[in-house]
Chain A
């Protein structure tokens, strides 16, 4: 038995609980939280490096009986699909804690504690192989996120927090009913992996598909269930936006791969057309919506929805009843890449917001004159966001488009539009904010990045470039698991 996953999950949660008690000394709380997040990240790195990329089975499994009377087990394990997200999650949290160091001034211990606990819950949902365990982690995430948006957000935070909470809850409650249904179909069993072999009629599959879809499509978010995201992002503090965009959205995409595709493959095939259409609407229409945004955070929020459209597109590109390897691996790569890029974008906006206290594009101009170092980093991330080759943004989108060309050429062309749209909205915003003359006194007073900010930007820049030049670091790890998934989806379960 191996406790590595438990350590990864519970270290931040326990550190978070202790941080909650350090409410007298803000400085200590910050460093203590940082220590906790670094330890958790190190554990996840051990998972990453000792992961056997040739094996298709779940690795680092842990299994304890948990709630005997309902046959719920504490069952953890990762495969090539979930493992990268655990690492990504812990990586981003270190940066998030660091990002909140100087900025957050009230309720410091609660702030850091909430982020640490949320990291633990998110790692837990990626590692859980028991449906209820997954659900518990999945829902528990709501509580810290609700408080993060509501307590440290900006003016309209209460509305955003409640909207976020209710949207997420409605989806997950329907998923709960589906899980209970599967529990009885499988003779009292909550093992996710056992559902893969469970025969289900097409009607049952369709209903289960809808229930799961409601839950994960809200998380992704897919058009037309996306409206909570552009409200939540601008109101959340920088750290909240980073976690929200970089990690929690990925749980939606992960849900498609872990639950929907293998549990209801026939319904997925039936409804794939619809999913492709919804994804394309997200990519193109939301991309257009992003162009006209006046608020930088809203713009990046819409760009997130558009980028996540690639993920759902990649998950549902069926040809002759089988999925495309390029597309699925591209979807996962896109999620990881978007994790780095969106976190970086929100952090950049946060850096400017801390100085000027505005998110409006119109309030900026000529930032490069005052913050040259920052402008260089921001340039890199803006390029990555628009999918420049050599940055991580390119790898995922390219792979999905490759897959689309092989399966559905029209979809490929429409999806390819995003490379233009993405460049359009990101670079146009960049131009208006960074270039030109200094427009007002607030901008004139901006000073360049501090050492702490430089460190965060540099780490993110490194991640974006490494991932862009050599995506194989992650793709090689996921390959065997993705192939396994594809064979499962090919088999009919009726």
Chain B
């Protein structure tokens, strides 16, 4: 039998990352406690290296490899680059925090890079099983990251919760995939599934729709739509802030691409069914996410529920099943990640050994004690509320425009009304920071100048992209249309 080697060019970034993870693990074992800084340098180099390799291998055409199970198309390249970039920034935000909280012992960076690798696989998979493998790689790494703070009861609890519920959702996803496999006559490859559905005259419709229900349930669990959102606030709250930063911002891009691959890539012909499911779940998420967030006093939980409502917006973009809607979704998720990154970045930097900046009361009078951090958090909050000229406004505008264009006017009005309710708790955070008197002095950890500069740039980007959104919008559109 002739053994043919697969074309390894498209997977070079993944290979490089895997190699570097192993290297970091080995280096870690041989470095003394005082020289752990080398791990950080290696991690940053890995992400930068991946970014460069990704740029070099980008030929502007779709490349397939591993029997077409791995795809490198426009959306994969683009979203991976965003993932590297945001991961790089996230590492800078959390590096001080993980040192202070004694989390470096368990190879934090190696596990983190495993999570990034999982996202990369999710983004680039063209086969349902590979998608699943990527998802599991990401999830397992996240369980590990959350539980890294071994003696924290909360963290362990939320890791368990995330693990059990995540396993359940993965099970549902697999169950659904098996039905699609049977219903299409034995295909897992997304394009073949599509072809099989095109050729057969809906004979297995019931079987496919049955499978679809489970797939959608599994997918929206990862996104955190109501009623599959229960884990979101608990995990956000229980995780150490460094990990919340990763879960709350980085993973979202991969999760959305994951859903686009499944629903738009493979199962697009079933869209009359999944559109209505997503629409309902999105409206429920907008409603419950925003309403419940009002009652939160823990800012991590608050942002958790806010995420639920934002994911509702994301799902609304997908409901339209057209280029405008999907590119609006992509724009939304990229800018949301950027915004969340800045938000969690501020909270992480305000925390120190023995102090987790997580209650609203901790932020009281922040504008007096730390005006720069307060200003950044103000931008984040107004951006999430969708107030122009911040970037969140254009993200919402694009989704609403796509909705109205597809005739979902009542849904658009509902989303708008819910944004209003959302605005209430966002401006309450601003109120706490600006109008209340400080209760205790928050002394932020002395993070290095470089990290702080990046945080400032991140905050400025919320305004700059908000005023000049064209470039990012066009880029997202280009990723979709190829």
Judge if B55 is at the interface, Cβ distance under 8 Å. no
Chain B proximity of A281: nearest CB distance (Å)? 26
Chain A proximity of B461: nearest CB distance (Å)? 16
Judge if A449 is at the interface, Cβ distance under 8 Å. no
Chain A proximity of B258: nearest CB distance (Å)? 25
For B428, the chain A residues whose CB sits under 8 A away are 162
For B470, the chain A residues whose CB sits under 8 A away are 66-69
For A181, the chain B residues whose CB sits under 8 A away are 404, 409
Judge if A351 is at the interface, Cβ distance under 8 Å. no
Provide the bound-state CA to CA distance between A158 and B434, in Å.
Answer: 10
Interface majority SS (helix, strand, loop, mixed), chain B: helix
- Against B, the Cβ 8 Å flags (1 = close, 0 = not) of A102-142 are 00000100000000000000000000000010011001101
Q: Number of A residues whose C-beta is below 8 Å from B?
A: 34
Judge if A455 is at the interface, Cβ distance under 8 Å. no
Q: In the bound complex, do residue B389 and residue A136 qualify as a contact, i.e. CB atoms below 8 Å apart? A: yes
Q: A157-B435, A176-B397 are in contact. Are A184 and B404 (CB under 8 A)?
A: yes
Q: A69-B477, A136-B393, A162-B424 are in contact. Are A176 and B400 (CB under 8 A)?
A: yes
| Binding-face segment, A54-62, A166-174, A323-331, A412-420 | A166-174
For A158, the chain B residues whose CB sits under 8 A away are 431, 435
Q: In the bound complex, do residue B397 and residue A184 qualify as a contact, i.e. CB atoms below 8 Å apart? A: no
Interface centre among B404, B427, B474, by most chain A C-beta atoms within 10 angstroms, is B427
Q: A70-B397, A150-B434 are in contact. Are A177 and B388 (CB under 8 A)?
A: no
Judge if B395 is at the interface, Cβ distance under 8 Å. no
For A170, the chain B residues whose CB sits under 8 A away are 417, 420
Judge if B413 is at the interface, Cβ distance under 8 Å. yes
Provide the bound-state CA to CA distance between A140 and B430, in Å.
Answer: 15
Judge if A143 is at the interface, Cβ distance under 8 Å. yes
Chain B proximity of A431: nearest CB distance (Å)? 37
B420: contacting residue among A70, A135, A169, CB under 8 A: A169
Chain B proximity of A24: nearest CB distance (Å)? 12
Q: Number of B residues whose C-beta is below 8 Å from A?
A: 35
Provide the bound-state CA to CA distance between A180 and B404, in Å.
Answer: 7
Judge if A285 is at the interface, Cβ distance under 8 Å. no
Judge if A289 is at the interface, Cβ distance under 8 Å. no
Chain A proximity of B103: nearest CB distance (Å)? 36
Judge if A161 is at the interface, Cβ distance under 8 Å. yes
Judge if B143 is at the interface, Cβ distance under 8 Å. no
Q: In the bound complex, do residue A180 and residue B420 qualify as a contact, i.e. CB atoms below 8 Å apart? A: no
Judge if B412 is at the interface, Cβ distance under 8 Å. yes
Judge if B387 is at the interface, Cβ distance under 8 Å. yes
Chain B proximity of A76: nearest CB distance (Å)? 15
Chain B proximity of A130: nearest CB distance (Å)? 13
Q: In the bound complex, do residue B473 and residue A67 qualify as a contact, i.e. CB atoms below 8 Å apart? A: yes
Q: In the bound complex, do residue A143 and residue B387 qualify as a contact, i.e. CB atoms below 8 Å apart? A: yes
- In the A-B complex, the 3 residue pairs with the smallest Cβ-Cβ separation, listed nearest first, are A136-B388, A150-B435, A173-B416
- Chain B positions within 8 Å of A, measured between CB atoms, are 367, 371, 382, 387-389, 393-394, 397-398, 400-401, 404-405, 409, 412-413, 416-417, 419-420, 423-424, 427-428, 430-431, 434-435, 468-470, 473-474, 477
5 A-B pairs within 8 Å (CB atoms) are namely: A146-B430, A162-B431, A166-B420, A173-B417, A184-B401
- Chain A positions within 8 Å of B, measured between CB atoms, are 23, 66-70, 107, 132, 135-136, 139-140, 142-143, 146-147, 150-151, 157-158, 161-162, 165-166, 169-170, 173-174, 176-177, 180-181, 183-184
| Contacts beyond the supplied A173-B416, A180-B401: 5 A-B pairs with Cβ under 8 Å | A67-B394, A68-B474, A70-B401, A139-B393, A180-B404
